[in-house]
Structure 1
Amino acid sequence: MSIKKGGREGSLVGKDLLYIEDDREIGGWVSEFLKDKGYGVTWLTGGEKAVEAAADCSLAILDVMLPGLDGFTVGHRLKRAYPGLPILMLSARTSIDDKLEGLQFADDYLTKPFHPDELAARVEVLLRRSAAVVAEPVVLKHLTVYEDENRVVNGETGEELVLTGKQFQIFMYLFRHQGRVMTKEQIYEAVWGESYIEGDKTLMVHIRYLREKLEKNPASPEIIETVRGLGYRVRA
């Protein structure tokens, strides 16, 4: 799988797109077309790194037929990690069953072959619809969370807390499921896009560093709670 980024420097603010297409000929001309329209495009040829790549994107364009993880699996993972991320499915499949399966998580479904102007129009509609829903900042104890801006601020000091990409994804996944205990398996799959291996300490280490940045007292956390034997939760 390859990752190709392009067009971000000249792209319109809030218009960075994740595009997943394994056909290099189609992927190449669609990417160039979208960049010519002013979008920033991150093009993946497979879905394994989709969740990580989508962190800075405003919309995902996802082909159904992919090597390894199919588009339906990738789409469900993206929606679990980023519930507000618009997803446009592309597919040569025209059966109603395939469309219904895709629309369980996707916001629109475009069948191949398609005209590039139609693709651009659908992308613009989804972005406008998404931008119309402006989330108010949420106060969580001493934190103020600006979900639309990918920012977390200490409301008492006004200091913006600088999180790594993985730390932010973990926190936002728990934040979006406030009050619910999320298992290590659920968190790991949503953030890393792959199955959790029992005994792996990666998530635990990230949680520890995350608490050092978010908690007033990391030794006695008030934001991210460990539920022994089950997982973690952000207290509502």
Structure 2
Amino acid sequence: MAKRVLYIEDDADIGQWVKEDLERRGYEVEWLQSGDRAAERAAQADLVVLDVMLPGLDGFTIGQRLKREAPNVPILMLSARTSVDDKLQGLQFADDYLTKPFHPDELAARLEVLQRRYGLSAEQQIQCGHLLIKPELQTVIDGRTNEEIPLTAKQLQILMYFLRNRGLILTKEQIYEAVWGEPYMEGDKTVNVHIRYLREKIELDPSNPQIIETIRGIGYRVRP
């Protein structure tokens, strides 16, 4: 499963260059040009790459906020500032500090180091209630019995889509278009049916679901 990078950089040329380079290396990159939505997106990321000079709040302020919101997500600061004081300020909350200009190989190498430090290996596991999900193996384990729960390909895709957007309320339209890759037709019950069968396999009590919640009138959510 590709590691998800939340990349915050207001310079369009640098941002596009870094995003394309990281995606070529196998990362999944969400690029924001300001810190306005950073706090809500950080929890869904494996790594954060954060520029210091941003419109509105600067990177130092945003980084401190992100570390409070998602303390287990490593942050790498990017900055043209080279003074020791700036680096020390950044490293009060960030896990690494890289000065501009930089070579893409160095950025990639530093991200690899952060992954090893935080244990974001290929064997990364996701805990969700009594479930243990192993993305690389495409398996879901019942933590009570240590037995695999057999899911269909679509059920697994739906569950992984929820986990990538954990904590967010997702509409039927969003789920259908993300999993089936086609425009949603109003009134289509496909998502409802698949989620009902998925709940029967993963919920302790499908009639009172605790993993995939129904948000009445809007959609569904997996709690953070």
Are positions 1:85 and 2:107 aligned together? no
Match for 2:111 among 120, 123, 126?
Answer: 123
Q: Using a 3 Å threshold, how does the CA distance of structure 1 residues 100 and 136 change in structure 2: closer, same or farther?
A: same
Higher relative contact order (CA 8 A, sep 6+): 1
Q: Using a 3 Å threshold, how does the CA distance of structure 1 residues 70 and 38 change in structure 2: closer, same or farther?
A: same
Amino acid at match of 2:101: P
Q: Using a 3 Å threshold, how does the CA distance of structure 1 residues 34 and 137 change in structure 2: closer, same or farther?
A: closer
Q: Distance in 1 between matches of 2:100 and 2:124?
A: 34
Cα pair 1:46 1:67 within 8 Å, conserved: yes
- Give the structure 2 partner of residue 102 of structure 1: 90
1:54 deviation in Å? Answer: 1.9
- Give the structure 2 partner of residue 113 of structure 1: 101
Cα pair 1:14 1:58 within 8 Å, conserved: no
Amino acid at match of 2:65: R
Match for 2:43 among 21, 43, 55?
Answer: 55
Q: Distance in 2 between matches of 1:136 and 1:113?
A: 35
Q: Distance in 2 between matches of 1:62 and 1:74?
A: 9
Tell me the alpha carbon deviations over residues 50-91 of structure 1, each in whole angstroms, 9 at most, x when there is no partner: 022223210000000000111011111111111110100000
Are positions 1:72 and 2:56 aligned together? no
What is the count of residue pairs matched by the alignment? 153
Structure 1 unaligned spans of 5+:
1-12, 169-211, 215-236
Q: Distance in 1 between matches of 2:20 and 2:93?
A: 27
Amino acid at match of 2:88: L
Tell me the alpha carbon deviations over residues 113-143 of structure 1, each in whole angstroms, 9 at most, x when there is no partner: 111110111011111211169999999xxx6
Are positions 1:45 and 2:33 aligned together? yes
- Give the structure 2 partner of residue 21 of structure 1: 9
Instruction: Give the TM-score taking structure 1 as reference length.
Output: 0.54
Counting aligned pairs with the same residue, the percent is 55
Tell me the alpha carbon deviations over residues 1-52 of structure 1, each in whole angstroms, 9 at most, x when there is no partner: xxxxxxxxxxxx1511010000000001111111111111000000010022
Amino acid at match of 2:22: L
Amino acid at match of 1:128: R
Structure 2 unaligned spans of 5+:
150-158, 170-207, 211-224
Secondary structure in 2 matching 1:69: coil
Q: Distance in 1 between matches of 2:53 and 2:133?
A: 31
Q: Distance in 1 between matches of 2:131 and 2:124?
A: 10
Are positions 1:34 and 2:22 aligned together? yes
Amino acid at match of 1:119: L
Q: Using a 3 Å threshold, how does the CA distance of structure 1 residues 20 and 136 change in structure 2: closer, same or farther?
A: closer
